[in-house]
Amino acid sequence: MLAWLTFDSVICGALFALAGRWRQPLATTVCTAIAGDAVVTAIEASAFNIRRARRIFDFAIIAVSIAAPVFAAAVLAGGIRRHALDRRQVSA
């Protein structure tokens, strides 16, 4: 539990840093970490949580917990691509 809290706190701080000033290497590192979190979350939810789910609400929470890091990684990957394109247009 403490590891996840620490991970989420570091990711939150890195995202705030990126919001203040974009840094491509930091964005790539954070995106990779979030994508890894998405994989681990999906495995964890499949291995432990789905067996315990009983109501539709339980399954909905599991689906959101899996979808959230996937969506976050996709949004950040879009930002990485956009900034890479902007950089190419400025240098051209």
Count of CB atoms situated within 10 Å of the CB of 79: 15
The predicted structure's pLDDT at residue 16: 97
pLDDT single digits (tens) 64-82:
999 999 999 999 999 999 9
Distances (CA, A) of 22 to 19, 43, 45, 75, 77: 7, 31, 33, 14, 13
The predicted structure's pLDDT at residue 50: 87
Say how far apart CA 11 and CA 68 lie, in whole Å. 14
Domain count, the chain: 1
pTM: 0.84
Give the CA dihedral 13, 17, 22, 28, nearest 10 degrees: -20
**Could you list the residue range(s) of the whole structural domain that residue 26 is in?**
2-91
The predicted structure's pLDDT at residue 46: 87
